[in-house]
Amino acid sequence: MRLKQLISSLVVGVSAVMAFSSAASAADMTGAGSSFMYPIAAKWADMYKGATGNVLNYQSVGSGAGIKQIKAKTVDFGASDKPLSAAELDAEGLMQFPAIMGGVVTVVNLDGITPGQMKLTGPLVADIYLGKITKWNDAAIAALNPGVKLPAEEITVVHRADGSGTTFLFTDFLSKTSPEFKTKIGADAAVKWAVGVGGKGNEGVAANVQRIKGSIGYVEWAFAKKNKMSHTQLKNKDGNFLQPDDEFFKAAAANADWAKTPGFAVVLTDQPGKNAWPITGATFVLMHKAQADAAKGKEVVKFFDWAFKNGAAAATDLDYVPMPPTVVKLIQDSWKANLKDASGKAIY
C-alpha cells in the first residue's frame, strides 16, 4: 500500500514539475537580429527575468538574419537597424517599431594613437573603404591631424561579413558624404565591398580590429566602450568634429518625425545640428500583425512595454538613447492598431 502511495506521489510530483516547466517555457520569447541592439537587449532580458521570471532568448545574428527569421516565423520577433519600407512590411504582414537608438563609431588599432585622438571625415573614411587611401600617413589623413604621429603602415579595412543594419547606417552615412562611394558601393545592409576583411556581427568586427594592427572598422558605440577600443572623432554635417556621446546621439534624433513617417522608418544618419553625431540610428523590432501564438505576442509586447517604462536608465548607462515618452505612446497606439490574435482581437 505504501509503495502504491509512494509511486502515486512521485507521478503527481513529476507531473507538477512538467506542468511548471511547460508553463515557464510557454512564457519564454525568442528574438533574433541586430547586434547593434544586443548589449541592451541582454541587459533588459536579465532585468525582465528578475522582475517577472519570464525569459527572452535573443540571438545576435545581424539584421539581415533577423529579418529572414521573422519572415520565416522561426522567432517571435526580429530586430533590424535598417527599417523596412511600408511596402515590404505590408507584403509580409509585418509591423515595426523603434526600440532603442544609438551611435555607430569608427575604431582603429594604431600604436601611439589614443582613443578619440584621431579626426576623420565621411569622405576620408569613404576613400579608405574604396581602397583609394591605403596608408595611415597619407597626406589627406595627416592634414586633418596635425601634430599626430601617424605610422607609415598599410591600412587594413574591416567590415561586416553578414547582412547588417550597422552596415546600412555606416554605408548610408558614407553615401551621403561621398558621391563616389554612393555610386560604387551604395547604402544597404549588405554591399559588395571594394577591399577589406569581414567579421560576423559587431563582435566579429571588434575582434578583427583588436587583432589586426593598422586596421579600421565600424561598430556600435557600446561595443567599442566595452572592449576599450580606440574610436575616432567624426566630422558632422555642420562641420564640427565630435566625440561619440549619448547626448550627441540624442541631438541627431531631435529632428526625427516618427509620427509622420510610415512604419516609423526614420533614418538618423548625417542629420543637421552642431552636436548631431553623424552615424546615429535606431533598432526596429519586427512582428507579424496576425499573431498565431497570441500568448507569445502578448509577452513580447509586455517585454518592450516594460523596457520602455523601466529600462531607460540601463539604456543610458550603455550609451544608448531611450525612446522618448511621446514616441512610446505612438508605439503603444501602433500595437493596439496592428497586433491581433487569430480571432482579430487586439493583443495589447
**Model confidence pLDDT, tens digit, residues 141-193:** 999 999 999 999 999 999 999 989 999 999 999 999 999 999 999 999 999 99
Global pTM?
Answer: 0.88
- The pLDDT assigned to 219 comes to 96
| Pairing outcome for strands 197-199 and 119-120 | unpaired
Query: What order do you get walking across the sheet with 241-242 strand by strand?
Result: 119-120, 233-235, 241-242
**Fold: same for 31-102+281-338 and 104-255:** yes
Residues of the chain with pLDDT under 70: 1-27
- The pLDDT assigned to 18 comes to 35
- The pLDDT assigned to 2 comes to 46
Report pLDDT digits (tens) over 148-158. 999 999 999 99
> At the fourth CATH level, which superfamily is domain 104-255?
Periplasmic binding protein-like II (3.40.190.10)
CATH 2.40.40.20 assigned to 31-102+281-338 = no
Tell me the domain boundaries of the chain.
31-102+281-338, 104-255
- The pLDDT assigned to 27 comes to 64
